[in-house]
Amino acid sequence: MTEPARRSGARRTTLAEKLDRLITALAPVDGAPPSYNEIARAIDEAAGERVISPSYIWKLHKGEATNPRVGHLEALATYFDVPVAYFLDDDVASHIDEQLRLLDALKTGAVRNLALRANELSPESLRALNDMLERLHTLEAPGEPRQSGQTRPA
């Protein structure tokens, strides 16, 4: 979180919320996210020793544990393939969360198909497509602020 955001009283994202986003992002389109047992087992196997328990991951995810050891954050970051800073810095988390939203959008067949077909277009056609998408967004959600690359909930 930036210094101006801290001073303005903007709410910090909790570790539990960040962990929830990562766990949800790993869920297949029509499947369940990885269980706490699966996450702990994968972390322990990668480390070759017991690093974290499923119950501790649950406590972190539910907000019952809020001050994990650095080793736990490093293990979780490695498992989810994010920098440790994701858990510590809201600016880093915001950037990665934007990528997670895009990944989630690409899980839906219609969006994935559109992206694959758009990949074959010329730069000029891509600009025209982007203009059309911006216009459609304005028609469907007038007055809603939108950042480049932001997806709307399905």
pLDDT tens across 31-45, in order? Answer: 899 999 999 999 999
Residue 138's H or E segment, with its range, is helix 123-140
Tokens coding 12 = 């910090």
Cα–Cα distance measured from residue 129 to residue 131, given in angstroms and rounded to the nearest whole number: 5
Tell me the percentage of the chain whose pLDDT exceeds 90.
Answer: 55
Whether the CB-CB separation of 54 and 36 falls below 8 Å is answered with yes
Given a contact cutoff of 8 angstroms between Cβ atoms, the answer to whether 10 and 94 are in contact is: no
Whether 21 has a pLDDT exceeding 90, the answer reads yes
Given a contact cutoff of 8 angstroms between Cβ atoms, the answer to whether 79 and 1 are in contact is no
Q: What is the pLDDT of residue 97?
A: 93
What are the structure tokens assigned to 112, written together?
């994935």
Q: How confident is the model at residue 26 (pLDDT cuts 50, 70, 90)?
A: confident
Q: Which amino acid is at 154?
A: A
Token pair 């950042």 in the structure block, residue? 147
Residue 141 DSSP label: S
The one-letter code for the residue type at 9 is G
Q: Considering only CA atoms, give the Rg of the chain.
A: 19
CB atoms within 10 A of CB 68: 19
